[in-house]
Amino acid sequence: MSEADGLLPAVSRLRAALEETAEALSTASVDRLLAADARVRSALGALAAWSPVGADERAAVRRELEAVHAALVRCRTLGGALSDFVRFTLGSHGPGVSYGPGRDVVAPHGAGLEERA
């Protein structure tokens, strides 16, 4: 296994992908979120094949793992805030409007947004 395939680079890629995810969540960019999700999956796949960490690499891996944890907490926080925003926004259109994973936005008949030019 080469240096580029070691644990530290894999953890670094995961951290970077989670930071990209947080940025996408903070800007509500679906395209960026999907791209970041692909990078998270790739980084997690690389972690599955890692070899034991040498003593000289442990401190660096620990720092990266702490950064991964911080990025994950940020993603959780931003994701929760975005979910709340969507829920409150839909709620302002009446009690019959709902949204959930794998479902489309459903509005009661006759409900909708008014647009003005």
Is the distance from CB of 65 to CB of 43 less than 8 angstroms?
no
User: Is residue 107 assigned to a domain?
Assistant: no
pLDDT in the model for residue 93: 64
Within a domain: 112: no
Q: What angle do CA 16, 30, 84 make, to 5 degrees?
A: 95
Identity of residue 84: D
Q: What is the pLDDT of residues 39-72, one digit of tens each?
A: 999 988 888 777 777 788 888 988 999 999 999 9
* 71 within a domain of the structure (yes/no): yes
Query: Helix, strand, coil: what percent of the chain each, to 5?
Result: 65, 0, 30
What is the domain range of residue 8? Answer: 3-91
Beta strands in 1-117 (DSSP E): none
HSE-CB for 19 with a 13 A CA cutoff: 12
Number of domains in the chain: 1
H helix or E strand, kind and range, residue 7: helix 7-26
Residue 110 lies in a domain: no
Q: 50 in a domain, yes or no?
A: yes
Tens-place pLDDT, residues 82-100: 887 777 777 666 665 555 5
* CA dist., res. 99 & res. 91, Å (int): 10
103 pLDDT higher than 60: no
Within a domain: 100: no
